[in-house]
Amino acid sequence: MVWLCAMGAVLGLVLVISLCQLWQWLKLTDSALTDGYIVSLEKAPLYRLTFSYQVQEQRYSLNFLDTLMGYSSSSLKALAEQVAVDDRIKVYYCTSDPSFCCVGFKPTRGSIVKVWLLNLLGPLAPFGF
């Protein structure tokens, strides 16, 4: 019985944290476009991409993992195969927090909710969910 209560508490906490993340991500629907460029790029076997962009005289340098699509290794691999160091890329940044961004496409509510659901349910995939 205690075990079930503990699991319920943990699952509740995970859900609350996940909903807070979704709320933060939904701010990205109010985004603006700027140009960024690829700073460093590593390909197979471990893909890593760092890019930089500027908003109101403030420069941001982020790893792909820090973006909305950072969870997706397939998105990183696809982007890494299309670009080279110093290439320009489209960066859609959150107007209320320019350090949070999405690379390549303007995020919509639908795409953000889809990413949130994949992040929430993705760890359950090995269990058949």
Query: What pLDDT, in 10s, does the model give residues 111-121?
Result: 778 877 877 77
- 97: nearest Cα among 58, 71, 65, 48: 58
Q: Is residue 67 part of a domain?
A: yes
The per-residue pLDDT for 55 is 96
pLDDT band at 36 (very low <50, low <70, confident <90, very high): very high
What's the confidence (pLDDT) of residue 30? 81
Q: What is the CATH number of the domain that holds 62?
A: 2.40.50
Instruction: Please compute the mean of the pLDDT values over residues 13-27 and round it to a whole number.
Output: 72
Answer for the pair 76, 46: CB distance below 8 angstroms, yes or no: no
Residue 102 CB coordination number (10 Å):
22
The owner of tokens 């471990």 is 46
Residue for token pair 């940044």: 93
Do the domain assignments include residue 124? no
Percent of all residues in the chain with a pLDDT value above 70, rounded to a whole number: 91
Which has the higher per-residue pLDDT, 81 or 13? 81
pLDDT for 71-97, tens place per residue?
A: 778 888 888 999 999 999 999 998 988
The domain tally of the chain equals 1
Q: What rounded mean pLDDT belongs to the chain? A: 83
3-class secondary structure, 21:
helix
Q: Give Rg (Cα) of the chain.
A: 17
- Could you tell me if residue 129 is inside a domain? no
> Does residue 61 belong to any structural domain of this protein?
yes
Domain span at residue 54 reads: 30-112
